């Protein structure tokens, strides 16, 4: 369906009974996968007898080693370290979501470089939901677990951010993290994932309307990265 206004978008997602989390993606055919699942593991499998646990351990240890001196407040748990690592681009088992549908829509339409492709907004009603990251076990969760972060930075706060944590798989193959798609996930404890396609023809219009509502690069990324992103957009440097 082609949405010509934010109002039409909100009316459409309002037709679903349950909706707790939203995630926008610039291309509708991108799978819902955590970034760690995109690591090319062909050369790593022989080095990690404990599979993904070992890869994650080394990723986080490397991040901790260099990150501590830059952090005003040191994370107190593995989940908090994962949130910080995710924020700075280190692959993790976390997937970013928002409790605000308009902020999810921003990520579906914000980059003109993808205007030739339909976008998508996912609506997710998790069966396992934790009100704080303090209640999430980073090692032993058995199903995809959604949670609000207890320790957040300004960017997560501005995006009304929340997360889903994918459980471990001991096997180390490229397909051990199965994508959430078509309303199905390998974990039986999930509710249906709904999706709203954002047509490529609508992206520019929706982007302009979001900007008038204050959902902009600077408001979503309240730091120098957001300022720089806004300047690049203004001067056509995508």
Closest CA to 121 of 143, 98, 144: 98
CB 217 within 8 A of CB 229: yes
Q: 3-class SS at 132?
A: coil
Q: Which residues contact 100 (CB under 8 A, 6 or more apart)?
A: 22, 159, 160
Q: What residue ranges of the chain have pLDDT lower than 70?
A: 1-2, 41-46, 151-152, 169-192, 226, 238
The helices-and-strands tally (H runs, E runs) of the chain is 8, 7
CB 102 within 8 A of CB 118: no
pLDDT digit string, tens, across residues 174-203: 555 666 544 445 555 455 688 899 999 999
The pLDDT score that the predictor gives to residue 238 is 63
CB 167 within 8 A of CB 99: no
The pLDDT score that the predictor gives to residue 210 is 96
Q: What kind and span of H or E run contains 121?
A: strand 119-124
CB 93 within 8 A of CB 36: yes
Token pair belonging to 91: 């692959």
The pLDDT score that the predictor gives to residue 183 is 45
The pLDDT score that the predictor gives to residue 233 is 72
Report if pTM > 0.85. yes
Closest CA to 4 of 25, 12, 27: 12
Residue indicated by tokens 């798609």: 181
d(CA 159, CA 153): 10
Q: Beta strand 119-124 with 129-130: parallel, antiparallel or unpaired? A: unpaired
């Amino acid at each position: 369906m082609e949405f010509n206004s934010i109002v039409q978008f909100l009316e459409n997602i309002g037709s679903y009974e349950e909706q707790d989390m939203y995630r926008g993606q610039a291309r509708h055919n991108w799978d819902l996968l955590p970034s760690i699942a995109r690591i090319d593991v062909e050369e790593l499998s022989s080095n990690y007898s404990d599979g993904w646990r070992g890869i994650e351990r080394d990723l986080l240890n490397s991040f901790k080693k260099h990150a501590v001196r830059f952090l005003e407040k040191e994370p107190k748990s593995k989940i908090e370290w994962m949130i910080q690592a995710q924020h700075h681009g280190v692959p993790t088992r976390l997937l970013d979501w928002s409790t605000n549908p308009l902020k999810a829509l921003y990520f579906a339409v914000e980059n003109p470089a993808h205007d030739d492709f339909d976008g998508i907004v996912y609506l997710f009603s998790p069966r396992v939901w934790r009100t704080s990251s303090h209640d999430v076990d980073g090692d032993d969760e058995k199903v995809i677990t959604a949670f609000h972060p207890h320790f957040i930075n300004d960017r997560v706060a501005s995006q009304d951010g929340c997360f889903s944590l994918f459980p471990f798989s001991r096997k180390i193959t490229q397909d051990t993290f199965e994508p959430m798609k078509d309303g199905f996930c390998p974990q039986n404890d999930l509710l249906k994932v709904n999706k709203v396609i954002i047509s490529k023809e609508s992206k520019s219009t929706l982007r302009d309307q979001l900007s008038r509502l204050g959902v902009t690069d600077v408001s979503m990324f309240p730091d120098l990265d957001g300022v720089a992103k806004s300047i690049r957009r203004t001067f056509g440097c995508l």
